[in-house]
Amino acid sequence: MVDFRRDIPLAITFIIGVIAVLDYYTTIPIFINTFTVIKNWGVVLQAFALGLGAVNLLRVHGRRISERRDDWYFSAVLLAMMFIFIIVGLITGQYESGATYNWLYNAIYLPLGSTMYSSLAFYMAYGAYKVLRARTFEAALLFTTAVLVIIGNTPIFPAMFPGFFHIREWIFGPIVGGAYRGIRIGVGIGAVVLGIRTLIGLETGYLGRR
Amino acid sequence: MVSTDPQIWIAAFLTLAATSYAFRDNKVFKFAENIFIGVAAGHLVVMGVKNIRDYGWAHLAQGEIIYAVVFLLGILLYTRYHKEYYWLYRYPIAFLVGNGIGISIRAAIHSDFTVQIAQTASPLIASDAMGTINNIILFIGVVTALSHFIFTYEGMHQGVLGYAPKVGRWMILLALGASFGNTVMTRFGMYQGRVVFLLREWLQII
């Protein structure tokens, strides 16, 4: 007896995953053509999933506003900005290339995005100050390369002593290159094993727990 | 002379508001934070609708009826809010997971496995002594870092063999330290860009 709640999704995952792999490793037209459609469907479904995220935001922040919880007006600002972008983007039919949308994007999204991302440097530096102490040999290794790379990346130090720049370059050559290559091979093996386990139905976490 | 462009003023205010968290959590930062989340969500929805139009609706409009299925699957995603038929959202999720895994398996085998091994399997002897030393260090780094992740054979981390994973851990720590330093400096470089914006575009003093 087929369990429509579990067996069909597992079968869908298996079939789609196998077609994606066969598209890469074979030249059989049916797999190549089918995977072209699957790729397009994937993009469309991801877009629908983004809508799901917007609906979730609406539910969570809508509830905060209706219950007048602490700082509820920030939720109102959040939803207002979301709707402004959606309306401006969709009403003109020009999406992100419309003049008004571009104006809003450059005035709000761009500065906030880059500032939020870059200002994490302050917390990282503060965290490093609190944590990066050469108490053990292994901590000293971490600390040493971190400091040498920071010095090598700061223009004033290589300007005074060009060797700092070369040390930084050397660290990123054999040291980082070798270690990350080993990590990547390990990660690659792990990704393939996890992928195969999911395709054959041994990993079912994505189906949810209900 | 300070800029008179309202776009620059809004961008400058939001830049300062987002930075204000460096001192302490405050209402101005929360205001900027919520604006950012709302704007990011709105932007993603707009891009999503555009993708639905370009990759789904355009094909359906050209008579490719099979594309009606993906719209049905997309709608099924929203059944997760239904108490009885919530399980239908598993169909589109299963599709996305299958697609993602298929692509990641082939990418992992190629770029994380084949390419990395091929690049490591090059001659150790270079044209100069430093190149040879670097090649040897790189080779030792690859082998020892990889051995650090071998847990299926217990003996790998004991006795004489245990030196390899230990050296691998040192190599990984050196690499992580370098990555940390690089990330910090990259972020500071980006923040420098924001400061330059404030001084050049907004205040126009440089």
d(CA B69, CA A81): 33
Residue B179 counted as domain residue: yes
CB contact under 8 A, A176 and B188: no
C-alpha triplet A61, A124, A151: angle, nearest 5°: 150
Pair B202, B12: CB distance under 8 Å: yes
* pLDDT band at residue B13 using 50, 70 and 90 as cut-offs: very high
* pLDDT band at residue B115 using 50, 70 and 90 as cut-offs: very high
Q: How many residues does chain B have?
A: 206
Q: How many residues does chain A have?
A: 210
Pair B134, B126: CB distance under 8 Å: yes
CB contact under 8 A, B172 and A115: no
d(CA A62, CA A79): 8
Residue B9 counted as domain residue: no
Give the Å distances, CA to CA, from A114 to A95, A100, B14, B128, B190: 22, 21, 11, 43, 7
d(CA B88, CA B75): 10
Pair A118, B190: CB distance under 8 Å: yes
Residue B53 counted as domain residue: no
Distance from CA of A178 to the nearest CA of B (A): 4
Residue B188 counted as domain residue: yes
Residue B128 counted as domain residue: yes
**SS in 3 state form for B78-103?**
HHHHCCCCHHHHHHHHHHHHHHHHHH
Closest by Cβ to A150, choosing from B168, B173, B181: B181
Closest CA to A25 of B105, B169, B153: B105
CB contact under 8 A, A111 and B190: no
Distance from CA of A128 to the nearest CA of B (A): 9
- The residue behind tokens 């992928």 is A195
What spatial distance separates the first Cα and last Cα of chain B, rounded to whole Å? 10
d(CA B184, CA B175): 14
pLDDT in tens, A170-205: 999 999 999 999 999 999 999 999 999 999 999 999
- Which A-chain residues 52-91 have CB contacts (< 8 A) with chain B? 52-55, 57, 71, 74-75, 77-86, 89-90
> How high is the pLDDT of residue A210?
61
Closest by Cβ to B45, choosing from A19, A54, A112: A54
B149: closest chain A residue by CA:
A186
One-letter identity of residue A74: F
Long-range contacts, stretch B50-57, CB < 8 angstroms, 24+ apart: B50/A95, B50/A96, B51/A43, B51/A44, B51/A46, B51/A47, B52/A44, B52/A47, B52/A48, B55/A40, B55/A41, B55/A43, B55/A44, B55/A47, B56/A40, B56/A41, B56/A43, B56/A44, B56/A47
One-letter identity of residue B155: G
Domain count, chain B: 1
Here the tokens at position A12 are: 């869908």
Distance from CA of A67 to the nearest CA of B (A): 18
- The residue behind tokens 């900005």 is A81
* pLDDT band at residue B106 using 50, 70 and 90 as cut-offs: very high
- Percentage of residues in chain A having pLDDT higher than 70: 99
d(CA A151, CA A166): 11
A177: closest chain B residue by CA:
B138
Task: Give me the residue spans of the domains in chain A.
Answer: 1-69, 70-118, 121-199
- Which of A59, A86, A103, A118 should be substituted to probe chain B, the one whose Cβ sees the most B Cβ atoms within 10 Å? A118
How confident is the model over B60-76, as a mean pLDDT? 96
Which residues of chain B make contact with A176, given a CB cutoff of 8 A? 174-175, 178-179
* pLDDT band at residue A57 using 50, 70 and 90 as cut-offs: very high
* Enclosing domain of residue B180: 122-201
pLDDT in tens, B147-192: 998 877 778 888 888 899 999 999 999 999 999 999 999 999 999 9
CB contact under 8 A, B181 and A48: no
Does the CB of B97 have a partner CB in chain A at under 8 Å?
yes
